[in-house]
Amino acid sequence: MDVITKKQLFESSNLFLNKLKKGSLFIYPTDTIYGIGCDATNESSVELVRMIKERFETPFSVIVPSKEWILRNCEVDQKFLDLLPGPVTLIVKLKDDSSIAPSVVKGLKTLGVRLPDHWVSDFVRDFGKPVVTTSVNKHGLSFMNCLEEMDLDLKGDVDFFVDEGLVHGRPSKIIDTLTNDVIERD
């Protein structure tokens, strides 16, 4: 696993964008906590994230390249779209299920979308496709706020880690746009 900085990520962005296109998994900071992800259109990469997280049934959320991507592929009211960018995940109705790998949503017709208020959104915009976003921890364990908290078992499965030091955040607030329910996570 390569540990890189934001500066290295953007100075060699073609290298890292190509790694994602080829199926790489990576760990990255957001405006909330560190996430683990991959190209959300690559079925085998998404399944690998599921295996690592031991999260086999529940859907994943994605960081989207833009609000326009959401409007093209999902149904969402403007009042919810106005919450982005920010530390929220919007559960929206998926219009085009071919826009992501099937294992992202596990048969559901909804998708969790994020647009962090963070430079990682610029990287995803440059990638041009959604990226799986889920906390860096095995299912049911504590989320990760820095490299030193990383589960050593992950190191062999992840291709690169974008280190931003300690991230002082909490998982994003989840808003179900179909029911107007707000789901706060502990």
Which of 36, 35, 29, 37 lies closest to 167, judged by CA?
Answer: 29
Predicted local distance difference test score (pLDDT) of residue 186? 47
The token duo for 165 is 């030091």
Helix (H) or strand (E) segment spanning residue 14: helix 13-21
Predicted local distance difference test score (pLDDT) of residue 66? 98
Residue 106 Rama label (left phi>0; alpha psi -120 to 50; beta): left
Instruction: Kindly report the pTM of this predicted structure.
Output: 0.94
Predicted local distance difference test score (pLDDT) of residue 184? 66
Residue-number span of the structural domain to which 90 is assigned: 2-183
Predicted local distance difference test score (pLDDT) of residue 150? 83
Predicted local distance difference test score (pLDDT) of residue 181? 86
Helix (H, G, I), strand (E, B) or coil at 52: helix
Counted domains in the chain: 1
CATH code, domain carrying 177: 3.90.870.10
Helix (H) or strand (E) segment spanning residue 28: strand 26-29
Task: Write the DSSP assignment of 99-141 as a string of letters.
Answer: GS-HHHHTT-SEEEEE--SSTHHHHHHHHTS-EEEEESS-TTS
Count of CB atoms situated within 10 Å of the CB of 161: 21
- Per run of 10 residues, the mean pLDDT along the chain (length 186 residues) is 92 94 96 95 97 91 98 96 97 95 96 97 97 88 85 83 92 92 71
Residue with tokens 């610029």: 122
